[in-house]
Amino acid sequence: MTVFLSKKCELGIHSVLLLSIKKNHKIFKASEVAEELKAPKEFVSKVLQILTDSGIVGSKKGKNGGFYLAKKPSDIKIIDIIKAIDGLDVFKNCVLGFPGCSTDEPCPLHEKWGALRDQAYKMFAEESLEQLKEKTLTKILSL
């Protein structure tokens, strides 16, 4: 688990990356996604529902229902998933949790965190899931 993103967000990223390397618009049950990611089905279902509400993932109800990517992998960036699940406050808030931390009233790590935070945002916003496909295949298959 990272310190930067919640476990829910990590699972959301893994789920969307998994869907991005599968056949376009193939529908996967939450249990199938959970099995491939080795995660609890209920947790996966909850995360996929959040991603459905945000429009990144689509869902189909019924006996043959499940989840699929609602957008092309080339139109989804990791930052979109982070925004949907954790929000973007992590890129605005003080790393030490001090209220009112700012350039005028900085915490001990304000300047260093600001640079790292900006680099992290840029990294998550730059590449689409399509651009991450080859590395995703290697990582998902190793779970």
46, part of any domain = yes
Asked whether the predicted pLDDT for residue 60 surpasses 80, the reply is yes
Asked whether the predicted pLDDT for residue 1 surpasses 80, the reply is no
How many structural domains is the chain composed of?
1
121, part of any domain = yes
The tokens describing 49, both together, are 């529902």
CB atoms within 10 A of CB 96: 11
Vertex 77: Cα angle to 86 and 17 (nearest 5): 85
Residue 25's pLDDT is what?
61
At 78-110, the pLDDT tens digits run 999 999 999 998 888 888 989 989 889 999 999
Lowest mean pLDDT among 10-14, 63-67, 132-136: 132-136
95, part of any domain = yes
- Tell me the three-class secondary structure of the chain, residue by residue: CCCCCCHHHHHHHHHHHHHHCCCCCCCECHHHHHHHHCCCHHHHHHHHHHHHHHCCEEEECCCCCEEEECCCHHHCEHHHHHHHHCCCHHHCCCCCCCCCCCCCCCCCCHHHHHHHHHHHHHHHHHCECCCCHHHHHHHHHCC
Asked whether the predicted pLDDT for residue 53 surpasses 60, the reply is yes
7 vs 138, residue with greater confidence: 7
Question: Which residue type occupies 130?
Answer: E
How many angstroms separate the CA atoms of 126 and 95, rounded? Answer: 23
Mean pLDDT calculated for residue range 99-123: 92
The domain spanning residue 56 has which CATH number?
A: 1.10.10.10
2, part of any domain = no
On average, the pLDDT of the chain sits at 91
1, part of any domain = no
Instruction: Tell me which residue range forms the domain holding 83.
Output: 7-141
Percent of the chain with pLDDT over 70: 94
33 vs 26, residue with greater confidence: 33
138 vs 59, residue with greater confidence: 59
At 2-24, the pLDDT tens digits run 467 999 999 999 999 999 988 76
